[in-house]
Amino acid sequence: CSSCKSTLSSLYDLHCVCFLLTITTQSGRSLFCFCRRTDVVAVTPWLAPIVWEGTFDPVLIDNIYKPMNLTIATTVFAVGKYVRFLQDFLETAEKHFMVGFNVRYCVFTDRPHDVPSVNLNQGRHLSVIQVPGSNRWQEISARRMEIIQTTIEHQIRREADYIFCLDVDSKFHAHWGAESLGRLVAVIHPGYYEQTRDRFPYERRPASTAYIPMDEGDYYYGGAMIGGFVEDVYTLTKVCRNKFEEDAGNSLEAAWQEESHLNRYLLYNKPSKVLSPEYLWQDFKAKTKEVKVIRFSGVIKNYAEVRPNV
């Protein structure tokens, strides 16, 4: 039932203070054990888990969640020339993303006839939603929050329990499963996970509603992944959309569009689970000693060629 799903998700969000203790089943198998990784920080200051390889049992966690018959909505924007990335995104998702779960892909595109035909596994469906194109990539980026919000209102909240909003110019490389489920889930940006917060590219202009002062901030979260309960992500997108529109009314555009507003929102509405950069790497970056597995990464591309403006 929905109550059980909520209770269990909350339990595993907290991991039962698993950075100190190990959760085990009656058979003695470990679910989570953050003490296994001493080379990385595996818990936030507000006691949310940071999910790294070696801190969870992927098979056992997936097997706990699968009997709940969950559905995970997955939104992806393939606007303009970005539609070329969709086939690799979908084909690799079918191999690695939420395997064995019900998944509903929502593809937003201005080129519905260019959406490739991909063989989907049982319980997985794809719907194509036409959206307008733009001559500015910044506008496409900024409208994502609005489009996701309205699609949750009209469709997704009736169809899914969880939602992940992902970038299309990316590929899956390894297991991404139920260990990522939580009430509100964010991912640490791979370009800044080793940086101090004074180096984060937050919006620094006080006039913007995305403003974060120099002495505030926890992590720099990547805008290429937002996840969680459908209703929690709905609230996030609604607030960020309203803040963006407030800025636009004052002739302001945040430094990194929706990513700036996302970081502001998550500063004051802490995520219940944080994914490590394993879940949002960049193909041009060499794997570091902390990143044992690359699960999802942005592909190398020529921005001048794929974007309508640079």
pLDDT tens for the chain, residues 1 to 310? 444 454 445 444 544 333 333 444 444 444 556 657 889 999 999 999 999 999 999 999 999 999 999 999 999 999 999 999 999 999 999 999 999 999 999 999 999 999 999 999 999 999 999 998 776 666 666 688 999 999 999 999 999 999 999 999 999 999 999 999 999 999 999 999 989 999 999 999 999 999 999 999 999 999 999 999 999 999 999 999 999 999 999 999 999 989 999 999 999 999 999 999 999 999 999 889 999 999 999 998 766 666 664 4
Contact 130, 106 (CB under 8 A): no
CA 166 to CA 182: how far, in whole Å? 16
79 annotated ligand-binding residue: yes
Residue 258 annotated to the active site: no
CA 252 to CA 207: how far, in whole Å? 8
Which of these is catalytic: 259, 278, 290, 305?
259
Helices marked H in the chain: 2-14, 58-65, 86-96, 137-151, 157-159, 230-249, 257-268, 303-306
167 annotated ligand-binding residue: yes
CA 301 to CA 22: how far, in whole Å? 42
172 annotated ligand-binding residue: no
Contacts of 187 (CB under 8 A, 6+ apart): 221, 222, 224, 225, 274, 275, 276, 277, 279, 280
Distances (CA, A) of 179 to 49, 132, 149, 240: 10, 35, 25, 26
77 annotated ligand-binding residue: yes
CA 195 to CA 277: how far, in whole Å? 13
Q: Please name each of the domains of the chain with its CATH number.
A: 1-35 (no CATH), 50-306 (3.90.550.10)
169 annotated ligand-binding residue: yes
